[in-house]
Amino acid sequence: MKIAILYICVGRYTIFWDEFYRSAEKYFLPEEEKNYFVFTDGEIILAQEDNKVIKVFQEDLGWPFNTLFRFKMFKKVEEQLINYDYIFFFNANMLFLDKVGHEILPMEEGLVVTEHPGFYNKKRSDYTYETNPMSLAYIPEAEGQVYVCGGLNGGKAKDYLELINCLEENIQKDYENNIIAVWHDESHINHYILSHKYKLLSPSYAYPEGWKLGIKKIILIRDKNKYGGHHFLRGTSGNTTLFARLKQIIWRKP
């Protein structure tokens, strides 16, 4: 079985890569063949050490375009992705804490999505779907049963490539009409799954650091405040000394 992992770490988000990679190698489908497609404009140390890692140059588009246009990024390697059985995308600041085996794979379904931890055990009225009817991510009040996060999704290669192509086109059409969905790619994913079969993972697979959800922690969403915060990581805060120090500390870990 061949697994493709899509991972974006442009700008200062490169500081998360090393620990993500090591934890994924240890815990994520360890018995299967895996390749990591790393979209980055920075130095990825393990890309030079391990042929499992495929570095794809990606300029830093800034906020919110690094997330909004992620499906456009993925299309750069579409011809390579066809050769895999499954494709998964993970947010840069995720960290595996426990083994993730074949239970994550969709069998009857085509896709895998993850319930958003912020809406765990919440009502439909709490979900922050796109409410602009002019957007291709729009979800009417009478629709939608779960709110999923944008940080972990995947599926069978054929099905996930269909998602990539559809959402890249929808996001581009919205953008050309001066529309950006409220939660960017996440809003479009929530719309897309309304008409597609999917396996739903619990927030155990996207567990925010420091939260208490009362469920098992399998994949941690690392607290960005411990790495300088959102503005620092997005490059809207200039502290280059802090970035160099964080990188030195993280890459020195065994």
Instruction: Answer whether 0.85 is exceeded by the pTM.
Output: yes
pLDDT tens track for 156-188: 999 999 999 999 999 999 999 999 999 999 999
pLDDT at 12: 86
Domains parsed from the chain with CATH numbers:
2-115+149-156+197-251 (3.90.550.10)
- Angle, helices 157-176/184-192, rounded to nearest 10 degrees: 120
Average pLDDT for the chain? 90
Confidence tier at 249 by pLDDT (50, 70, 90): very low
pLDDT at 42: 84
Nearest to 204 by CA among 120, 87, 124, 105: 120
Nearest to 198 by CA among 85, 91, 114: 114
Active site residues: 186
Q: Which residues pair with 207 in a beta bridge?
A: 220
C-beta of residue 36 within 8 angstroms of C-beta of residue 94:
no
